[in-house]
């Protein structure tokens, strides 16, 4: 009969192939259907009943996924230790998923039902995604499977359940593909075909989900300026005045093309003026001339410096008035914008001192009120600076506080010509659908983009170019279910996953020596000629492992 589970080498090869497929689903390739295939390959590799082996298989898949996905981290640091360390940490989380799913499916009621194992795989995966997005050091939610689906039908589910729902459906589709393959190998055509039909319906059916795109509070005539940097990869502060001048020049060009007073708001990126115009008169004059040229308020990124810390601000500037309120970044990037436990990590690499002054976190809400003369009112703008767009809670909070559009200012100059900016734009597109808002991602060097409330790109720029964008965008006030529910879906999933793993641990203790079935086994193969193997899944058909090393007699069928 066919081997019930892959060999150990085969499992690792399947896991690595699955990880590569997951990576290919993300930009720059953006072959989103491969996310389903990647999950299926990983789950087939996890069919052995061994938690430690499940962790190793998941870790291998995670390395194959995150090493190419996060290659841009090497560009930013200039040496591979940061890229490798970040990839290893994220891969370890995939290992946790592997071990947790193996344990959770040991519950007898689950072990006998492949469809329930598929659902449980989705629950456990989402729980681990949410955990690594929050811990350690505030988490790093880059690479959530949901962010690979910006062009897929399932992205429309984002409006109903955010990243937990979309990632969960991706995993469920992949799990059903894996279950179908197992059934078909056993010549159980009905079960296999049924799983394929359900998987197809889940993958394609969301295309019918309607999305709101009409203006609910008027339209905003918006301009965005990508000024570029004089020297690619140079230290930011060494060219800060030139970068500010570039964005001012782009704004003047925008005014000449669109006409003075034709725009309601112009947005600049993060680090558009790293020399604070609130304290530097020369930079203030440059910014004010640009604002006067378009006769519209500006939003621009700058920094506040103190003796022992700094803050990353996004500032409102009105022509003839000057600086107004600012949003301060709440999620500085660990090891990128600040170094936790600096003395400890310096023992591994001196690269920690590339961050010479740690960035501190802001505490204010992620929304700015922008006065728009044509509308006769202030327009609330939700803001998430750079990597903050990947954090579910921060963007949702800005929308719930009244944000009628979302602005994501970012500085991608340190990442070279890698796929980082395109990955970030895919996240911005997801956020547009999730909250039913126009999203403007504006970068110093690209890729910048204006995205409609349904995730459709309205305008975009190239990489390391000086460009401007304009669009009349709808302002929206209604809240999607994803915004209303907030963190509840993630919390519920984590509780269910924890309960399932705990139940699996209890069931595993009661089943010692009886050899739980492999993943997606429905129990019908047990008994004479069944799949009982030792606890690591390596037993032979018709036997069950004994704790004293002696073969035990085969059990009769149920």
386 is catalytic: yes
Which of the residues 90, 270, 404, 422 is marked catalytic? Answer: 270
Q: Contact at 8 Å (CB) between 299 and 381? A: yes
CA distance 239 to 249: 15
Q: Please, what's the b/e burial string for 155-168 (b: 16 or more CB within 10 A of its CB; e: otherwise)?
A: bbbbbbbbbbbbbb
Q: Contact at 8 Å (CB) between 421 and 447? A: yes
CA distance 520 to 1: 17
CA distance 268 to 224: 6
Which of the residues 386, 404, 422, 468 is marked catalytic? Answer: 386
Sheet strands (E) in 5-140: none
| Residue 510 CA: distances (Å) to CA of 52, 86, 107, 532 | 18, 38, 10, 15
270 is catalytic: yes
38 three-class SS: helix
- The pair of structure tokens assigned to 492 is 């519920």
Among 439, 343, 341, 348, residue whose Cα is nearest residue 388: 439
CA distance 345 to 143: 25
| Residue 247 CA: distances (Å) to CA of 242, 320, 539 | 9, 18, 67
Helix (H) or strand (E) holding 316: strand 310-318
Verify cis geometry, omega within 30 degrees of 0, for the bond prior to 28: yes
CA distance 446 to 413: 8
CA distance 186 to 454: 43
Quote the distance between the C-alpha of residue 459 and its chain's center: 22
Count of C-beta atoms within a 10 Å radius of residue 79:
12
Reported residue count of the chain is: 558
Count of C-beta atoms within a 10 Å radius of residue 540:
14
Residue 408, phi then psi, degrees to nearest 5: -120, 90
Which of the residues 329, 388, 404, 422 is marked catalytic? Answer: 329
308 three-class SS: coil
In sequence order, which residues have a C-beta less than 8 Å from that of residue 22 and are 6 or more positions away?
A: 34, 35, 38, 39, 42, 61, 64, 65, 145, 148
Q: Contact at 8 Å (CB) between 69 and 26? A: yes
Question: Taking the CA of residue 32 as centre, how many other CA atoms within 13 Å lie in the half-sphere pointing to its CB?
Answer: 20
Active site residues: 270, 329, 386
């Amino acid at each position: 009969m066919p081997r019930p589970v892959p060999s150990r080498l085969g499992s690792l090869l399947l896991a690595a192939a699955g990880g590569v497929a997951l990576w290919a689903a993300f930009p720059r390739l953006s072959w989103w259907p491969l996310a389903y295939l990647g999950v299926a390959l990983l789950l087939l590799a996890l069919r052995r009943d061994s938690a430690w082996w499940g962790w190793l298989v998941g870790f291998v898949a995670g390395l194959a996924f995150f090493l190419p996905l996060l290659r841009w981290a090497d560009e930013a640091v200039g040496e591979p230790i940061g890229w490798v360390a970040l990839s290893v940490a994220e891969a370890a989380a995939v290992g946790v998923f592997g071990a947790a799913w193996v344990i959770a499916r040991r519950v007898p009621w689950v072990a006998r039902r492949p469809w329930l194992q598929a659902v449980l795989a989705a629950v456990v995966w989402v729980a681990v995604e949410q955990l690594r997005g929050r811990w350690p050091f505030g988490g790093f939610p880059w690479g959530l499977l949901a962010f690979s689906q910006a062009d897929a039908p399932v992205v429309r589910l984002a409006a109903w359940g955010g990243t937990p729902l979309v990632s969960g459906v991706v995993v469920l589709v992949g799990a059903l593909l894996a279950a179908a393959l197992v059934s078909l190998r056993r010549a159980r055509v009905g079960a296999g075909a049924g799983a394929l039909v359900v998987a197809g319906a889940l993958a394609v059916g969301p295309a019918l989900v309607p999305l709101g795109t009409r203006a609910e509070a008027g339209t905003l005539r918006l301009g965005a300026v990508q000024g570029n940097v004089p020297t690619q990869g140079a230290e930011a502060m060494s060219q800060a005045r030139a970068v500010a001048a570039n964005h001012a020049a782009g704004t003047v060009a925008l005014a000449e093309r669109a006409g003075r007073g034709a725009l309601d708001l112009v947005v600049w990126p993060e680090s558009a003026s790293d020399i604070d115009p609130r304290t530097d008169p020369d930079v203030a004059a440059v910014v004010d001339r640009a604002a006067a040229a378009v006769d519209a308020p500006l939003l621009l990124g700058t920094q506040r410096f103190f003796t022992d810390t700094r803050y990353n601000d996004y500032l409102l500037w009105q022509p003839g008035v000057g600086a107004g309120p600012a949003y301060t970044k709440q999620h500085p990037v660990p090891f990128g914008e600040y170094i936790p436990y600096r003395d400890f990590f310096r023992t591994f690499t001196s690269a920690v001192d590339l961050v010479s002054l740690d960035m501190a976190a802001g505490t204010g809400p992620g929304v700015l009120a922008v006065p728009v003369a044509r509308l006769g009112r202030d327009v609330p703008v939700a803001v998430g600076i750079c990597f903050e767009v990947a954090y579910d809670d921060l963007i949702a909070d800005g929308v719930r506080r009244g944000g009628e559009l979302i602005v994501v200012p970012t500085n991608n100059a340190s990442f070279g010509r890698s796929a980082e900016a395109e990955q970030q734009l895919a996240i911005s597109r997801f956020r547009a659908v999730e909250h039913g808002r126009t999203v403007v991602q504006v970068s110093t060097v690209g890729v910048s983009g204006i995205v409609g409330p349904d995730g459709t790109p309205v305008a975009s720029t190239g990489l390391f170019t000086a460009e401007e964008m304009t669009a009349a965008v709808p302002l929206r006030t209604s809240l999607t279910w994803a915004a209303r529910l907030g963190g509840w879906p993630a919390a519920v999933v984590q509780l269910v996953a924890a309960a399932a793993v705990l139940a699996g641990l209890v069931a595993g203790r009661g089943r010692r020596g009886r050899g739980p079935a492999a993943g997606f086994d429905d129990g019908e193969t047990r008994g004479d000629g069944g799949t009982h193997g030792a606890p690591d899944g390596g037993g032979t058909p018709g036997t069950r492992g004994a704790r004293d090393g002696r073969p035990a007699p085969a059990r009769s069928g149920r």
